Amino acid sequence: MPQVLEFKLPDLGEGLTEAEIVRWLVAVGDVVAVDQPVVEVETAKAMVEVPCPYGGVVTARFGEEGTELPVGAPLITVAVGSSTVPQDQPVAVASESSESGSGSGNVLVGYGTDHSRPARRRRIRPAAPAPAPVAAVVPVAVAPVPAAPAAVGPVAVISPLVRKLARDNGLDLRALNGSGPEGLILRADVEAALRAPLPAAEPVTTGASLSPADERIPLKGLRGVVAEKLSRSRREIPDATCWVDADATELMAARAAMNAAGGPKISVLALLARICTAALARHPELNSRVDLEANEIVRLSSVHLGFAAQTDRGLMVPVVKDAQAMSAEALSAEFGRLTELARAGKLAPSDLTGGTFTLNNYGVFGVDGSTPIINHPEAAMLGVGRIIDKPWVHGGELAVRKVVQLSLTFDHRVCDGGTAGGFLRYVADCVESPAVLLRGL
């Protein structure tokens, strides 16, 4: 007798608690191999394929394309132990932790034991006339529903995501009539209510009158994660910013000479990253984080350097691991590789987590300065403005030089202004005279 195993949406990594179904890669009745991708989901950080650790026949799918599911919600059920599933007898559904030899145990997003091409989809066709087709199953409850006040009666909502969407947009669920079974309020009901024009008799204001043409955009996915992370940074970190203008003429000349010598091209960002890692070796206070539970400052031995990359999905911060051990050439290659993956939406969660310091080159947007928000839980961020020709006193005379503004935003708990100023001054000295960096190696 086949056993039906339930595969749930696995833990997606740091800070990722939900994912949206983008595309199903299998249908009910398909035969899947162990570690074959079964669904493509989009998290707040990347687009990934989820491999199923079981091999067998897909008996149910949970959620339609476009549905958001929390971690731990069912994705599919798979009948294992037989190439077909008997339609005339019940089968028991076991959890994914069941001790069965049919699973690989590899349920993390983007990983599996079989790195070959997934098996070709095959649909099992019964020899006898088939009964009614198995329908895709709607998402099931993953958390208990808190009871509403007795005076107004219970609110028919199962999904915590529906409750969160309504709460974030100030929508009273008690005013809705659900379209689901027994009046269940679905996500579509909430979204329809948010799209509906506001009643003329009771205009809602948020400092200014709203128009029916105004657009509501749910704060979810990447924007939702960014909003939560930046808000937490502002709540927890007492940050301060210092800045300085630097003459980058010699740095740009050194880069031109290095690239003219042949070999892989070296980017300006890679040279700035190399300067950053040297500065952090001199001022390790800024490569740290604050452990609030232990009431301690943790100074980190490795520099995992995050850098800002603009993509169609928004601003992302890939992380170059162990940047302190890499040359400018290696850093340039790694920046290029991670940027391409970010723009293609193929970064793994591990590529976006674990940063200890961030290099933010906002000069690519044509601006000179900024006071960025620290990427929590890091302790500092170096900002780099555009490099442009400006009047500058050089050698006692006024000249046109290539000038850049550098800014350092830092957590005032880990160091004082003297340390932050020393770090920024060393970076500026290396920009103005790259030989300073060579002397420190």
CATH code at 85?
A: 2.40.50.100
Is the same domain home to 312 and 348? yes
* Within-domain flag for 418: yes
Write down the catalytic residue from 304, 376, 394, 412.
Answer: 412
**Cα gap 41→341, rounded to integer Å:** 16
* Within-domain flag for 353: yes
Is the same domain home to 201 and 76? no
Greater model confidence, 46 or 425: 425
pLDDT of residue 217: 85
pLDDT of residue 435: 87
Is the same domain home to 269 and 389? yes
**Cα gap 380→257, rounded to integer Å:** 31
**What does pLDDT average to over the chain?**
80
* Paired sense of beta strands 309-311 and 314-316, if any: antiparallel
pLDDT of residue 74: 92
Instruction: Choose one of 218, 249, 265: the last residue of a domain.
Output: 218
Mean pLDDT lowest among 90-94, 170-174, 208-212, 278-282: 90-94
> Which residues fall within 8 angstroms of residue 51, CB to CB, at 6 or more apart?
35, 36, 37, 38, 106, 107, 110, 111, 112
How confident is residue 335, by pLDDT bands cut at 50, 70 and 90?
A: very high
* Within-domain flag for 228: no
pLDDT of residue 404: 97
Going by C-alpha positions, the residue among 406, 382, 402, 384 that lies closest to residue 392 is 402
Is the same domain home to 22 and 164? no
Is the same domain home to 133 and 154? no
DSSP string, 421-434: HHHHHHHHHHHH-T
Going by C-alpha positions, the residue among 405, 176, 426 that lies closest to residue 282 is 426
The CATH number of whichever domain residue 311 belongs to comes to 3.30.559.10
Is residue 304 flagged as an active site residue? no
pLDDT of residue 169: 81
Is the same domain home to 99 and 246? no
Is the same domain home to 6 and 105? yes
What range does the domain containing 11 cover? Answer: 1-140
Q: Is the pLDDT of residue 27 over 50?
A: yes
* Within-domain flag for 126: yes
What is the count of structural domains for the chain? Answer: 3
pTM greater than 0.85 (yes/no): no
| Structure confidence by residue, pLDDT tens digits, 237-262 | 999 999 999 999 999 999 999 999 88
Q: Is the pLDDT of residue 330 over 90?
A: yes
Collapse the DSSP code of 406 into the 3-class scheme (helix H, G, I; strand E, B; otherwise coil) and give the result. Answer: strand
pLDDT of residue 126: 46
| Structure confidence by residue, pLDDT tens digits, 256-278 | 999 998 889 999 999 999 999 99
* Within-domain flag for 32: yes
| Structure confidence by residue, pLDDT tens digits, 278-291 | 999 999 999 999 99
**Cα gap 351→332, rounded to integer Å:** 16
| Structure confidence by residue, pLDDT tens digits, 100-111 | 444 554 444 333
How confident is residue 131, by pLDDT bands cut at 50, 70 and 90?
A: very low
Collapse the DSSP code of 310 into the 3-class scheme (helix H, G, I; strand E, B; otherwise coil) and give the result. Answer: strand
Instruction: Choose one of 112, 140, 168: the last residue of a domain.
Output: 140
How confident is residue 112, by pLDDT bands cut at 50, 70 and 90?
A: very low
pLDDT of residue 42: 79
pLDDT of residue 177: 83
The CATH number of whichever domain residue 171 belongs to comes to 4.10.320.10
Is the same domain home to 124 and 148? no
* Within-domain flag for 231: no
How confident is residue 336, by pLDDT bands cut at 50, 70 and 90?
A: very high
